[in-house]
């Protein structure tokens, strides 16, 4: 009897090819498309594309409505972070609560032992850690492990990433074409799903009546007032353009001070720091096994998705992580995630405070 796997199907080429690969590996595949935020037209298009693929491959398909949960876990969190002068990453929250926690529960209801998605990442049993671990994809440019560090390590043995060993997207599209899938050349989504025009500010203003849009001062680190800002939500750490001030050197946003309602600016060197603190920690391996009797480990870490992994010393103090980097990191931003790596294994991560 074939093992059943519930595959998250967005109607895109990655998840569609994942279905083909899982079938070839001998699984009984069940497809499911989650309704999260999309408009009726967007949802209908995604569902229709997924259903066409399932029909062609002889796969059972379900539509799962998670809109209420998505609003609570992802949207509300996103807006709350901006209201508190932080810069969130909603895809990380969505992966944790929707695409893995809720999805795994649905899989159990459908008698599926495993869940699968079209993420570029890998799950493998590690004799070094004596457990299943999350590892980086071979496709370095598309590796998505940064967005996956918050998933529950208890479900790692039941997660499959069929695209783990593919190097580039052309290979995926070729498989889709060879199997006659209409989605073979469908474009990838590059935007946050609930902000199709990529205008975060307008979305937040329309969603929340309490958003912090009060004008305040733009100041240097020493408190010198240089101008006025139009509300803290309009600014982010590292921003240079659109400040509306003049100075003898180019200036960047280096801090958003909610208490004083100030945008603090400085020269580029002020953007760099060697230290950070993080909370809301989630570890995917047994950290005691990694750190031994001490509370300090030499690892690598990323302070944002597009940044490079950097050498750092990790120190754990209760529910808080303190990191000291070998080289200064640019634009460390409250609300973003820092993700910990040891070689190609994801150790875990936390939210920068």
CATH of the domain at 301: 2.40.30.10
pLDDT tens track for 87-143: 999 999 999 999 999 999 999 999 999 999 999 999 999 999 999 999 999 988 899
Clarify whether residues 30 and 175 are in a common domain: yes
Q: What is the pLDDT of residue 168?
A: 87
Q: Catalytic site residue 94? A: yes
- Assigned domain for 124 exists: no
Contact of 87 with 333, CB cutoff 8 Å: yes
Residue given tokens 């000291």 in the structure block: 324
CATH number, residue 241: 2.30.30.280
Question: Which of 54, 91, 94, 112 is an active site residue?
Answer: 94
Q: What is the pLDDT of residue 81?
A: 94
Clarify whether residues 89 and 40 are in a common domain: yes
Total number of domains constituting the chain = 3
pLDDT tens track for 214-259: 899 999 999 999 999 999 999 999 999 999 999 999 999 999 999 9
**Cβ-Cβ contacts under 8 Å for 234 (sequence gap 6 or more):** 201, 213, 242
Clarify whether residues 104 and 234 are in a common domain: no
- Assigned domain for 198 exists: no
Contact of 328 with 303, CB cutoff 8 Å: no
Q: Which of 330, 270, 265 is nearest to 303 (CA)?
A: 330
Q: What sections of the chain are H helices per DSSP?
A: 13-24, 40-57, 67-70, 76-83, 90-94, 103-109, 169-178, 200-207, 287-291
Q: What is the domain range of residue 336?
A: 272-352
- Assigned domain for 337 exists: yes
- Assigned domain for 190 exists: no
Clarify whether residues 168 and 99 are in a common domain: yes
Clarify whether residues 172 and 280 are in a common domain: no
Q: Which of 206, 152, 171, 190 is nearest to 18 (CA)?
A: 171
Question: Which of 48, 68, 112, 193 is an active site residue?
Answer: 193
Q: Catalytic site residue 91? A: no
CATH number, residue 172: 3.40.50.620
Clarify whether residues 170 and 248 are in a common domain: no
pLDDT tens track for 24-76: 999 999 999 999 987 787 888 899 999 999 999 999 999 999 999 999 999 99
Distance CA 174, CA 157 (A): 29
């Amino acid at each position: 009897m074939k093992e059943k796997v519930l595959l998250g199907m967005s109607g895109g080429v990655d998840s569609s090819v994942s279905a083909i690969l899982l079938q070839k590996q001998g699984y009984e595949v069940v497809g499911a498309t989650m309704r999260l935020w999309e408009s009726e037209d967007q949802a209908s298009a995604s569902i229709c594309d997924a259903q066409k693929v399932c029909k062609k491959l002889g796969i059972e398909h379900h539509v799962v409505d998670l809109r209420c949960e998505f609003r609570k876990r992802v949207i509300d969190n996103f807006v709350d972070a901006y209201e508190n002068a932080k810069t969130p990453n909603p895809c990380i929250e969505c992966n944790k609560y929707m695409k893995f926690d809720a999805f795994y529960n649905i899989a159990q209801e459908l008698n599926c032992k495993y869940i699968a998605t079209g993420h570029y990442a890998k799950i493998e049993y590690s004799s070094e850690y004596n457990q299943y671990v999350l590892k980086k994809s071979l496709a370095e440019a598309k590796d998505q492990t940064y967005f996956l560090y918050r998933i529950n390590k208890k479900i790692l043995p039941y997660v499959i990433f069929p695209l783990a060993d593919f190097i580039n997207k052309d290979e995926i599209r070729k498989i889709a074409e060879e199997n006659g899938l209409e989605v073979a050349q469908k474009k990838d989504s590059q935007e946050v799903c609930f902000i199709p025009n990529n205008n975060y500010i307008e979305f937040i203003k329309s969603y929340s009546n309490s958003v912090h849009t009060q004008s305040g001062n733009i100041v240097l680190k020493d408190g010198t007032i240089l101008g006025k800002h139009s509300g803290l939500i309009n600014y982010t750490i590292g921003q240079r353009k659109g400040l509306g001030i003049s100075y003898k050197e180019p200036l960047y946003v280096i801090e958003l001070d909610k208490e004083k309602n100030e945008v603090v600016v400085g020269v580029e060197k002020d953007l760099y720091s060697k230290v950070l603190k993080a909370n809301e920690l989630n570890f995917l391996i047994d950290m005691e096994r990694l750190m031994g009797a001490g509370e300090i480990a030499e690892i690598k870490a990323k302070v944002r998705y597009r940044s490079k992994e950097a050498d750092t010393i990790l120190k754990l103090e209760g529910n808080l992580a303190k990191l000291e980097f070998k080289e200064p990191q640019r634009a460390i931003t409250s609300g973003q995630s820092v993700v910990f790596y040891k070689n190609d294994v994801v150790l875990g991560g936390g939210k920068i405070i």
